Amino acid sequence: MFEKLGISEKTIEFLNTEEKSLQEIYAKIDENCRLNHFKVLTAFHQNNVNESYFNSTTGYGYNDIGRDNIEKIFAEVLGGEAALVRSQFISGTHALTVALFAFLRPNDKMLSISGLPYDTLHEVIGIESNPSSLASFNIEYDQIDLINNDFDYDKIKTYLQNNKVKLIEIQRSKGYSTRKSLTIDKLKKVIQVIRSVDKDVIIMVDNCYCEFVETKTPLEVGADVMVGSLIKNLGGGIAPNGAYIAGRKELITLAGERLTCPGEGMEVGPTLGINKSILQGLFFAPSVVSSSLKTAILTSKALSTLGYDVEPTYNEKRADIVQNIIFHNPDALIKYVQGIQMGSPIDSNVVPVPWDMPGYKDQVIMAAGTFTQGSSIELSCDGPIRPPYIAYQQGALTYDYGFIGVAKAIEELTKKDNNVK
């Protein structure tokens, strides 16, 4: 049967064998999924979701009860006082940019305690020169690198004792780095250290790729604000675009006035028919994240068995939906990413190649045969063409589609004429 997709019986049997050893891990994922579903459904009930919330507004977007209640639901699910959930956000990077420009003022200092932020934030901050960056407004940036995949607690404490910092940024997911992603337990510990020194500094968490992987959120362990994308976890593969900022009410008010304008803030912003998709995406999100996690774990187990380096390993505790496969070889990286594209529902006939992607220093190859452009809660895979040649795989709307997509990628990777290992 699978031969119609160019997948051999041998590859399917191999994955079936790998899958059998993962059932105990999958059961724990199912348990967390149910708890997260309970959290979402409770928020729907407490906010009396009804069909009128699906109505949309145009123009200024005044009196959009669907939009206003969606933001209450997101705030409740995420453990915040308020949330800004808008389709006007182009991406997670855009939402992070709005938050940074909302919270920081000239002569303020921003400190990253999780090392170098994601590539697309470099020009936003001014790590790489840009006349529109934070640095161009005399906002200072500094960073403290992780040590052994954990926060440098002593250095953070000493730094805060000797410097006035307005905002601390923490990126939980690894981005295009080789470090591990940061769990809620590590986040809770570092926030306690920060608060022992500074009660007022704003703690902002980039939570992209991390929602519903665990049952607690950064806000529930002491963060002031968290930011994420709706074409990642919380959109459930249904929201067509958008992002969110959630946390303390006064901070969300500032973010709303930065997204629109002072004096209008969160009271404006037309939804243009997107409310139903955002609500339905959130409703399905715990299950979709569960499918993504199972697909990532299967990938980790299978590629490790085939002799490739993987991070995290299949039995490690996870903080996000991203699976790294370290190929140490550009040809193997390219072949695997092309295989993921071949196993995708959209543009399966297209062959991705490395290209100069806006916002990235190195060429990037990206498999994104997705219903929503750039969606990484759908099965996708990408990576910069630089040593050690890592594929960053994430997403799967259903586990079965994830299984088939990974099978196709393995089939392409292990073809006898490739000689890429």
Give residue 419's pLDDT: 46
Helices (H) and strands (E) in the chain, counts: 11, 12
Give residue 348's pLDDT: 96
Give the CA distances from residue 397 to residues 6, 312, 401, 405, in Å, rounded to whole numbers and listed in that order.
Answer: 21, 21, 7, 11
Residue 96: burial class (beta carbons within 10 Å; 0-12, 13-18, 19+): buried
Do residues 80 and 251 lie in contact, with contact meaning Cβ atoms separated by under 8 Å? Answer: no
Question: Would the pLDDT of 421 be above 80?
Answer: no
List the beta bridge partners of residue 85.
244
Q: Which of helix, strand or coil describes residue 65?
A: helix
B/e letters for 206-222, b = 16+ CB within 10 Å, e = fewer, are: bbbbbbbbbbebbbebe
Give residue 106's pLDDT: 98
Residue 334: burial class (beta carbons within 10 Å; 0-12, 13-18, 19+): buried
Of the listed ranges 58-72, 139-153, 407-421, the least confidently predicted one is 407-421
Do residues 292 and 306 lie in contact, with contact meaning Cβ atoms separated by under 8 Å? Answer: no
* Mean of pLDDT over the chain: 96
Give residue 357's pLDDT: 84
Give residue 285's pLDDT: 98
Residue-wise pLDDT for 294-348, tens only, equals 999 999 999 999 999 999 999 999 999 999 999 999 999 999 999 999 999 999 9
Give residue 359's pLDDT: 77
Of the listed ranges 126-135, 286-295, 354-363, 374-383, the least confidently predicted one is 354-363
Give strand ranges (E) for 243-315: 243-247, 309-311
Nearest residue to 377 via CA among 280, 258, 234: 234
Do residues 109 and 164 lie in contact, with contact meaning Cβ atoms separated by under 8 Å? Answer: yes
Do residues 380 and 345 lie in contact, with contact meaning Cβ atoms separated by under 8 Å? Answer: no
Give strand ranges (E) for 301-351: 309-311, 323-326
Q: Considering only CA atoms, give the Rg of the chain.
A: 21
Residue-wise pLDDT for 21-50, tens only, equals 999 999 999 999 999 999 999 999 999 999
Question: Would the pLDDT of 408 be above 60?
Answer: yes
Give residue 361's pLDDT: 82
Nearest residue to 369 via CA among 411, 401, 326: 401
Give residue 416's pLDDT: 60
Question: Would the pLDDT of 417 be above 60?
Answer: no
Domains of the chain as residue ranges with CATH: 2-37+283-413 (3.90.1150.60), 55-272 (3.40.640.10)
For 147, half-sphere exposure in the C-beta direction (CA atoms, 13 angstrom radius) is 6
For 196, half-sphere exposure in the C-beta direction (CA atoms, 13 angstrom radius) is 12
